[in-house]
């Protein structure tokens, strides 16, 4: 309801609002008037001489006076009088009410100004017999109000429904023609929900209830919303009694959200969720419905206590998955439209309401696809092969690549085992390098297949991205789409000659390459590495190698062990000094504790890094060097830490310390990968020998 503050609704009112309503229902008189009637002035009494001078006889003059008195009558201020329209100007209407002067009425006070023409009789309210300009003051609007006041008051008191027509929009609402007088319809009282464009209601005959009246101020406030709420309450009561799950109902869309649409069933709203609108894929409810749309929906669920209703639209259509296994049998080829793309694949609509998934691993035999959007786009029409159909879970697996032959099946003919190919290094990992043989076809060079003579800790020591290299095909796994390559196999195994070149007792000049806790790896001529155990460094009481030796330091050495089978050379500075004792003093002096190395080591320890190459320390500490009379015998040099086999490459993937993307180019594993690994046929080395097992 509207309280006394709703006097603000009294827009465009030409009346005086300074005084409060005192409860007096009588019309107000003009300002300064005392309310007495204005009597017409009587005819003056004239003598016979005066009558003779005017040319009248006594009888004629008295007859004229009688006629004058019957023509004029007493008119009171605040009285309804009849008047005749004399003329109509651009904004005013001149009206004769039989008084000494005519009155002016603004044209806007007439509900239908086009019907006002000279000669038309109208009822007006006499507000004042004379205003400051000496003219009679009359009002058509106030006259209309007084004429229908009783009807308006009765409708207000008894809360009757009345009809009116919105005529024009003003600030805050609409002006409504109610029984020929203007009433105010606030914007909040127009409908149950906000109407964006109030002009749509202009000229329509609508039903209202009168919320407030003020006779003195001629103020009427009406509401259409109250009428609609009453109607809604009645319909709601009836609907709640009749509504049942499974019913088919008609409704009107009242509101749309991101998750669905609210449908007015006639007194109560139900939710049509976006998932119940269509068997197909839609991104927003507005794709299917719009506000004010009339829909036929099915009642899916109904909670009378909470007054919640769930509705369905797609349930009125045929279930599209009913015969999907017959329409799209496994191994068949079908065409569809790409409707959605995710990180793991693309969804293809085969028909309305039926979609299948092309997994990213089923998009290409050879391309390294980082994201499905690289080769597919929304709306693309594609031909796919049906891999499997799961009707119960509404899932269909599709393949794009299987519409073409698998190039891996004929790869052994193109790249036979033992063949040499030039490729480009595409990516480096901790365990090897991926070499691109052709577009989309990569092979793995394992770290153990990069050099015959060096123990490589990371492929970046000998290779870099984009580098062209010659490789040999070592093995092909057609099922798992993997090629094993080797770089060192392209060269003859040098260890047969190295065994003679570095025979036991041979003296050699080496340079410190890497420092371990248990010894030093040195570089020898001809790109060969050897190992010097700590006990053969010829430094008395040495406990910390890293503070006495640095990479690049020269070392005079003697070979004390050579093993072509294990590709290992062990050297000794102590054995060399035993033969050349004159060099011992200078050698020991050159490898005193160095302050700069000591400081560098302290900084590393403070930073938690430990000794240089701490990651390999465990490997070196595993070696045990034993000495015997005569030429010392050295046990096995630390072996290369165990690295993943070629077939186990995906399990070893990760980010290396240098941020290299090691996952690039690796094929995703299928369920078949969990089974036994297929044996890879290995090509013989150039020397005719089979490569060591660790290189397979």
Residue 356 neighbours by CB under 8 Å, 6+ apart: 328, 336, 347, 348, 350, 384, 386, 395, 396, 397, 398
Mean pLDDT, range 454-476, rounded to an integer:
89
Residues 609 and 661 grouped into a single domain: no
Q: Is 574 inside a domain boundary?
A: yes
pLDDT band at 435 (very low <50, low <70, confident <90, very high): very high
Of 59 and 309, the one with more pLDDT: 309
Residues 280 and 340 grouped into a single domain: no
pLDDT number for residue 76 = 67
Residues 125 and 54 grouped into a single domain: yes
pLDDT number for residue 647 = 34
pLDDT at position 537 over 60: yes
Which region holds residue 292: left if phi is over 0, alpha if psi is between -120 and 50, else beta?
left
pLDDT number for residue 348 = 93
pLDDT number for residue 74 = 56
Beta strand 482-486 with 441-446 is: parallel
Using the structure block, give the residue that is written with the tokens 């690796």: 666
Give the end of a domain, one of 125, 141, 157.
141
pLDDT number for residue 568 = 87
CA distance 151 to 481: 93
Q: Is 179 inside a domain boundary?
A: no
> Residue 627 has which token pair?
């000495």
Residues 511 and 604 grouped into a single domain: yes
Residues 509 and 617 grouped into a single domain: yes
pLDDT number for residue 338 = 93
Of 676 and 331, the one with more pLDDT: 331
Q: What is the pTM of this model?
A: 0.41
Q: What's the number of domains the chain is made of?
A: 5
Q: Is 30 inside a domain boundary?
A: no
- The CATH code of the domain that includes 59 is 2.40.50.140
pLDDT at position 309 over 80: yes
pLDDT at position 129 over 60: yes
pLDDT in tens, 80-110: 788 888 888 878 888 888 777 788 888 888 8
Residues 653 and 577 grouped into a single domain: no
Q: Quote the domain boundaries for residue 416.
A: 407-492+644-674
Q: How far apart, in Å, are the Cα atoms of 39 and each of 32, 73, 75?
A: 18, 7, 7
> Residue 272 has which token pair?
């049509």
pLDDT band at 305 (very low <50, low <70, confident <90, very high): confident
pLDDT at position 510 over 60: yes
The SS3 of residue 107 is helix
> Residue 380 has which token pair?
């693309």
pLDDT band at 399 (very low <50, low <70, confident <90, very high): very high
> Residue 266 has which token pair?
């006639």
pLDDT number for residue 40 = 52
Find, among 216, 144, 213, the residue nearest to 177 by Cα: 144
Q: Is 428 inside a domain boundary?
A: yes
Give one DSSP letter per residue of 525-553, joined into a string: TTTEEEEEEGGGS--TT---GGGT--TT-
Residues 312 and 373 grouped into a single domain: no
| CB neighbours of residue 392 within 10 Å | 6
Query: Is 261:272 a contact under the CB 8 Å cutoff?
Result: yes
CA distance 42 to 65: 8
pLDDT number for residue 397 = 93
CA distance 488 to 288: 65
Give one DSSP letter per residue of 188-215, joined into a string: GGS-SS--S-GGGGTT--EEEEEEEEET
Give the end of a domain, one of 109, 141, 173.
141
pLDDT number for residue 570 = 93
pLDDT number for residue 75 = 61
pLDDT at position 649 over 60: no
CA distance 211 to 202: 20
Give the end of a domain, one of 381, 403, 425.
403
Is residue 584 within a helix (H) or strand (E), and if so which, with residue range?
helix 584-590
Mean pLDDT, range 37-63, rounded to an integer:
70
Mean pLDDT, range 675-688, rounded to an integer:
36
Residues 605 and 519 grouped into a single domain: yes
Residues 441 and 425 grouped into a single domain: yes
Using the structure block, give the residue that is written with the tokens 């300002």: 31
Q: Is 425 inside a domain boundary?
A: yes
Residue 266 neighbours by CB under 8 Å, 6+ apart: 235, 239, 250, 251
Sign for the pseudo-dihedral over CA of 180, 186, 192, 193:
positive
Q: Is 483 inside a domain boundary?
A: yes
Long-range contacts (CB closer than 8 Å, 24 or more residues apart) made by 222-226: 222/162, 222/164, 222/176, 222/178, 222/183, 222/184, 222/185, 222/189, 223/2, 223/185, 223/186, 223/189, 224/185, 224/189, 224/190, 224/191, 225/188, 225/189, 225/190, 225/191, 225/192, 226/189
Mean pLDDT of the chain: 76
Residues 270 and 341 grouped into a single domain: no
Chain Cα centroid distance, residue 330: 35
Residues 255 and 344 grouped into a single domain: no
Give one DSSP letter per residue of 378-436, joined into a string: TT-EEEEEEEEEETTTTEEEEESGGGS--GGGGHHHHS-TT-EEEEEEEEEETTEEEEE
The SS3 of residue 345 is strand
Residues 446 and 535 grouped into a single domain: no
pLDDT number for residue 663 = 34
Q: Is 182 inside a domain boundary?
A: no
pLDDT number for residue 232 = 83
CA distance 480 to 477: 6
Q: Is 206 inside a domain boundary?
A: no
Using the structure block, give the residue that is written with the tokens 């009107």: 252
Find, among 91, 73, 90, the residue nearest to 82 by Cα: 73
pLDDT number for residue 691 = 35
Residue 522 neighbours by CB under 8 Å, 6+ apart: 510, 511, 512, 513, 529, 530, 531, 532, 555, 557, 571
Paired strand residues for 514 = 521
pLDDT in tens, 342-392: 999 999 999 888 889 999 988 888 777 889 998 899 999 999 999 999 988
């Amino acid at each position: 309801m509207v309280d006394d503050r709703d006097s603000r609704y009294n827009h465009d009112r030409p009346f005086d609002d300074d005084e409060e309503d005192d409860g007096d229902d009588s019309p107000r008189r003009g300002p300064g008037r005392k309310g007495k009637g204005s009597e017409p002035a009587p005819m003056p009494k004239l003598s016979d001489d005066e009558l003779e001078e005017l040319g009248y006889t006594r009888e004629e003059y008295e007859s004229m006076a009688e006629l004058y008195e019957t023509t004029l009558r007493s008119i009171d201020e605040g009285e309804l009088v009849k008047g005749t329209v004399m003329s109509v100007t651009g904004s005013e209407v001149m009206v004769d009410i039989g008084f000494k002067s005519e009155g002016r009425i603004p044209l806007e006070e007439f509900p239908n100004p086009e019907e006002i023409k000279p000669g038309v009789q109208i009822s007006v309210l006499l507000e004042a017999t004379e205003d400051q300009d000496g003219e009679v003051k009359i009002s058509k609007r106030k006259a209309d109000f007084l004429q229908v006041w009783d009807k308006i008051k009765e409708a207000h008191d008894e809360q009757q429904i009345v009809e009116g027509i919105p005529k024009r929009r003003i600030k805050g609402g609409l002006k409504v023609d109610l029984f020929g007088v203007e009433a105010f319809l606030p914007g909040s009282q127009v409908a149950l929900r906000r109407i964006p464009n109030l002009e749509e209601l202009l000229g329509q005959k609508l039903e209202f209830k009168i919320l407030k009246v003020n006779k003195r101020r001629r103020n009427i406030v009406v509401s259409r919303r109250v009428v609609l709420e009453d109607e809604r309450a009645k319909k709601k009561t009836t609907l709640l009694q009749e509504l049942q799950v499974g019913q088919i109902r008609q409704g009107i869309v009242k509101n749309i959200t991101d998750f669905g649409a609210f449908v007015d069933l006639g007194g109560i709203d139900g939710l049509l969720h976006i998932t119940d609108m269509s068997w197909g894929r839609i991104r927003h409810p507005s794709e299917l419905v719009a506000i004010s749309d009339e829909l036929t929906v099915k009642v899916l669920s109904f909670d009378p206590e909470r007054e919640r209703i769930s509705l369905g639209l797609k349930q009125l259509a045929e279930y599209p998955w009913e015969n999907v296994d017959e329409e799209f049998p496994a191994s068949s080829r079908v065409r569809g439209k790409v409707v959605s793309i995710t990180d793991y694949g693309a969804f293809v609509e085969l028909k309305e309401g039926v979609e299948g998934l092309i997994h990213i691993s089923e998009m290409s035999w050879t391309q390294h696809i980082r994201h499905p959007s690289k080769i597919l786009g929304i709306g693309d029409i594609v031909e796919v092969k049906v891999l499997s159909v799961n009707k119960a879970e509404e899932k269909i697996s599709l393949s794009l690549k299987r519409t073409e032959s698998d190039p891996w099946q004929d790869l052994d003919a193109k790249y036979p085992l033992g063949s040499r190919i030039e490729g480009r290094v595409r990516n480096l990992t901790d365990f090897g390098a991926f070499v691109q043989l052709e577009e989309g076809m990569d092979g793995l060079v394992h770290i153990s297949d990069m050099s015959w003579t060096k123990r490589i800790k990371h492929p970046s020591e000998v290779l870099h991205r984009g580098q062209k290299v010659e490789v040999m095909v070592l093995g092909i796994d057609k099922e798992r789409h993997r090629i094993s390559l080797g770089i060192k196999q392209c060269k003859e195994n040098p260890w047969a000659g190295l065994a003679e070149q570095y025979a036991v007792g041979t003296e050699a000049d080496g340079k410190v390459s890497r420092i371990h806790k248990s010894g030093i790896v040195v570089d020898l001529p001809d790109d060969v590495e050897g190992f010097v155990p700590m006990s053969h460094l010829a430094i008395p009481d040495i406990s910390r190698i890293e503070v006495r030796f640095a990479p690049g330091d020269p070392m005079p050495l003697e070979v004390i062990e050579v093993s072509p089978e294990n590709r290992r050379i062990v050297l000794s500075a102590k054995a060399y000094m035993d033969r050349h004792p004159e060099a011992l003093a200078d050698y020991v002096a050159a490898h005193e504790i160095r302050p700069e190395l000591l400081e560098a080591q302290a900084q590393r320890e403070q930073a938690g890094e430990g000794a240089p190459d701490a990651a390999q320390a465990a490997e070196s500490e595993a070696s045990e060097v034993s000495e015997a009379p005569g030429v010392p015998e050295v046990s096995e040099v630390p072996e290369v830490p165990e690295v993943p086999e070629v077939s186990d490459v995906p399990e070893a993937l990760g980010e290396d310390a240098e941020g290299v993307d090691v996952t690039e180019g690796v094929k995703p594993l299928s369920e078949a990968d969990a089974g036994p690994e297929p044996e890879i046929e290995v090509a013989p080395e150039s020397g005719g020998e089979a490569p060591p097992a660790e290189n397979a």
